[in-house]
Amino acid sequence: MKKQTFFIALGIVMLGAVMRVPITAIPPILTDIASSLGVSVSELGILTSIPLLMFALCSSLAPKLASMLGMERLMGGVLFLMVLGSLLRIINLPFLYLGTIVVGATIAVINVLLPSIVAANFPQRIGLYTTLYITVMGVTSTLASMVAVPIVSATSWQFFILLVTGLIGLAFVCWLPNMKESHRVEEKVQEKTTVSLWKNKAAVVFLVFSGLQSMLFYTELTWLPTMAQTAGLEQAQAGFLAGIFSLVSIPMSMITPGIISRLKKEQRAIMMIGLSCLTLLGLVLILFAPASFTMWLMIHLFLGVSVSALFPYMMLSLSLKTSNSQATARLSGMVQTGGYLIAAVGPAALGYSYSVAASWFPLVISLIIVTLAMMVTIYVIEKEDVIV
C-alpha cells in the first residue's frame, strides 16, 4: 500500500470512529450532567435533537465548501472545529449547548462528504471502505455507550467528554497528511445539478427514504427502553436490550455493504425490502408483547438487524447511484438535508402521542406506516441505475 493511500485509509477509519460517538455517548450520562449542572434531565433532552437539526441545516453547505477548499482540506478543518466544539461542552450549560451545535454541524459535513472521499480515492473498492468506516462507527458507538456510565461514576462527566475529545483529536492528527490532497466539487457544475436534483424524481424519493429510515432508527433508539419498561421489564433489563439494539449494528455494518455492492439493483430491492419486513414483524410483536424478556429480546433483534442494514445501504447507494464523486457529494447534501429534517421531528412528535393517548399504540402504528412507505421508496430507488 502506498504511503498516501495508507493515510487516506487510516483517515477514513478515524472519521468513522468520530461520526457518532460525540453524540451517542451522551444519553447514558444525561442524569449525571443534569445533576452536576443543577438542571432537570428534561432540560437536557434537546441535546439529542440539536445534532439532527444541525445535520439538516448544514448538510447542503458541505458540497459548496468542498468546491472551494477541496474535500480533504475541508475535512481537516472540520475535525479541528469538532475538537473545539467538544471541549466547549465541559465549561457550563450554555457552552454545552453551543458545543453540541458545533459538533452536530461538523458531523453533518462528515456525513455528506465521506462517501465522496471514498469514491474519489478508492473508486474500485467502494464497498470495502464503506464497510470499514460504518463498522468502526458501530463499534466505537457501542463501546462508548457501554463504558460511559462506569467512567463517569469513577471520575466525572467532564473527564469522559475529554476522553471523547481526545479521540477526535487523534482523528485530526491522523488526517493531517491527507490535506495535501484536494479533490474538489466543481462549483459551476454543482449549481446546475443542484437545481436539477429537485426535479429528479429518484433523487427526491431517495431524500424521503433517508428521512424515513432515520426516523425509524432515532425513534426506536429513543423510545424502545421506555416501551419495554412500560410493558413490565426492569430498568436494567431495558438498558441491556438497548445495548443489544446497538450491538447488532456491528455485524450488519460489516456484511451489508459487501453484499449490496455485488448485487444487481433488482436483487438489492428484494434484499432491503425483505430486511424491512423484520421491522414490521418487530413492531407487530410490540403490540402484543407481554412482560417477557425473551419476547422483547426478539423484538430488539428484529428491529436492530433491520435498521442496522438501512444506514449502510443508504451510504453505499450514494456512491453506487451517482456517476462521480462530485455527484455523490451533491446528492448526499440534498438527501441528508431533507432526510434529517424529517427525522428530527420523529422522536419528539411520535413520543408525544403516548402522553396524549396513554398508549404506545399510535406510535407503533405510525412506525408501521413509515416502514411501509419506506419499502416503496426502496423499490423506486432500485428502478434506477444512476440517479445523477
Q: Chain centroid to CA 2: how far?
A: 31
278 contact partners, CB below 8 Å, separation of at least 6? 302, 303, 305, 306
pLDDT value for 148 = 81
Nearest Cα to 51, choosing from 87, 112, 103?
Answer: 103
The pTM for the full model equals 0.75
Gap between the Cα atoms of 268 and 379, Å rounded: 9
Please say whether the beta carbons of 223 and 347 come within 8 A: yes
280 contact partners, CB below 8 Å, separation of at least 6? 368, 371, 372
pLDDT value for 53 = 86
Q: Which three cell numbers stand for residue 281?
A: 414483524
Estimate the share of the chain in helix, then strand, then coil, as percent rounded to the nearest 5. Answer: 85, 0, 15
Nearest Cα to 222, choosing from 74, 343, 141?
Answer: 343
Query: What is the CATH T-level fold of the domain 191-381, as seen in this structure?
Result: Growth Hormone; Chain: A; (1.20.1250)
Q: Which three cell numbers stand for residue 283?
A: 413492531
Look at residue 358 and give its three-state secondary structure: coil
Q: Which three cell numbers stand for residue 300?
A: 430488539
The position carrying cell 449502510 is: 312
Every domain of the chain and the residues it spans: 3-185, 191-381
Residue 40, phi-psi category: left (phi > 0), alpha (psi -120 to 50), beta (remainder)? beta
The CA–CA distances, whole Å, from 337 to 18, 111, 163, 331 equal 20, 10, 30, 10
Gap between the Cα atoms of 158 and 86, Å rounded: 10
Q: Do domains 3-185 and 191-381 have the same CATH topology?
A: yes
Q: Which residues of the chain have pLDDT under 70?
A: 1-4, 41-43, 45, 181-195, 235, 348, 351, 355
Element (H, E) at 366: helix 361-381
The CA–CA distances, whole Å, from 202 to 118, 214, 247, 301, 388 equal 23, 18, 32, 31, 9
pLDDT value for 205 = 93
pLDDT value for 188 = 47
Calculate the dihedral angle through the C-alpha atoms of 185, 187, 190, 191, rounding to the nearest 10 degrees.
160
DSSP codes joined into one string, 36-102: HHT--GGGGGGGGTHHHHHHHHHTTHHHHHHHHH-HHHHHHHHHHHHHHHHHHTTT-HHHHHHHHHH
219 contact partners, CB below 8 Å, separation of at least 6? 346, 347, 350, 351, 363, 367
Q: Which CATH architecture is the domain 3-185 placed in?
A: Up-down Bundle (1.20)
Q: Which three cell numbers stand for residue 355?
A: 402522553
